[in-house]
Amino acid sequence: MAKLNVKDLEGNDVDSIDVADEVFATEVKEHLLWEVVRWQRAKARAGTAATKERSDVHGTHAKMFKQKGTGRARHGSARVNVFRGGGVVHGPRPRSYEFGMNKKARAGALRSALSLRASEGNLTVIRDFQVAGGKTRNLVTALTKLDARKALLVDDAGNVSLGRSSCNLPTAQHLVPEGLNVYDILRFPKLLISEAALREVERRLLASAGAADTIQEGAA
């Protein structure tokens, strides 16, 4: 089994723990990471861009001038796109950019992202993630000692001090274990996770890996 060092907020090694190879030492599939990041970014798009087409523009429906005898081109409406203030042709309309992504593929990408950070030495397990006083300056001091000024911080929602101290810090973000995702792991060069949160993520991803193995064995 792979091993990860456990540190305190002073940057000192206090222990080491065994973690599952299937989650933290698996093959890093870069294309799968790209697919899941693309899926996450597409889901995050608002899709609210819109322009007014000819039928949406406010204005008269009357013919601008008579059909013949003026020497001008024939026009039936001032709301067409060739006139100032007219409608836009084939402009953007509100839409959803979301598309489907297999659950096993998403879990596999998360295992790849965690394995990537672990292999780089950029995944640090924290024994006690309680920030003194919930103060941002205390969290900045701790992150400096851990050499992780820009980091993703993962601990459960009950850690109010971590959430409070990180909310005003532009170089760090606090996530609960349930919200851990590929895009945020790759967006921050360092991943700091509490031991309890790590075990929760490990248990969930081991369960999904076991289901995938069972399906593959049945197909074989």
pTM, two decimals, is 0.82
- Residue the block writes with tokens 């995944």: 123
pLDDT band at 213 (very low <50, low <70, confident <90, very high): low
Domains defined for the chain, CATH in brackets: 2-45+101-219 (3.40.1370.10), 46-96 (no CATH)
Cα(218)–Cα(220) distance, rounded to whole angstroms? 5
- pLDDT one-digit tens code per residue, 22-31: 999 999 999 9
- The closest alpha carbon to 200, from 147, 158, 165, 141, belongs to 158
Polymer length of the chain? 220
Contact 35, 101 (CB under 8 A): yes
Average pLDDT over residues 110-130: 95
For residue 2, what pLDDT is reported? Answer: 87
- pLDDT one-digit tens code per residue, 46-104: 999 999 999 999 988 889 999 999 999 999 899 999 999 999 999 999 999 999 999 99
The per-residue pLDDT of the chain, averaged, comes to 91
Q: How far is CA 133 from each of CA 163, 165, 218, rounded to the nearest angstrom?
A: 12, 8, 53
